[in-house]
Amino acid sequence: MLIMSRMHNPPHPGEVLEELYLEPLHLSVTEAAKGLCVSRKTLSALLNGHGGISSDMALKLSKAFHTTPESWLNHQQQYNLWHSEKDLDVSHVKIFYEPHVHK
């Protein structure tokens, strides 16, 4: 059985963006939105946890803040997985394959 270690209650990527980039750089939502070529409404939704990181947004954020698009998509994926694991009951899903364990 493959067990992956996931972060406990990971922050929403918008929270990461705000706390690690916008606040330290003293960027307003309006300034950041303009620089990222997105609407203020789009960026505000992301920062408030009402939007997610798309591949387009990941590319823009990676250029703007000298990061990688994969890091932004990973933040989003970890956030989504954690919430899905909390909310989704998979106990009735049929197991089609179990790897053999050699001793």
pLDDT digits (tens, 9 = 90+) for 39-77: 999 999 999 999 999 999 999 999 999 999 999 999 999
- End-to-end Cα spacing for the chain: 15
Q: Would you say residue 103 has pLDDT above 80? A: no
Q: How confident is the model at residue 6 (pLDDT cuts 50, 70, 90)?
A: low
Domain ranges of the chain: 13-85
Using a 10 angstrom Cβ sphere, with 0-12 exposed, 13-18 middle and 19 or more buried, the burial of residue 58 is: buried
Percentage of the chain beyond pLDDT 90 is 86
The one-letter amino acid at 97: Y
CA distances from 36 to 2, 67, 100 (A): 38, 14, 49
What's the whole-number average pLDDT of the chain?
92
Give pTM, 2 decimals.
0.83
98 vs 48: CA distance, rounded Å = 41
* Residue range 13-85, CATH number: 1.10.260.40
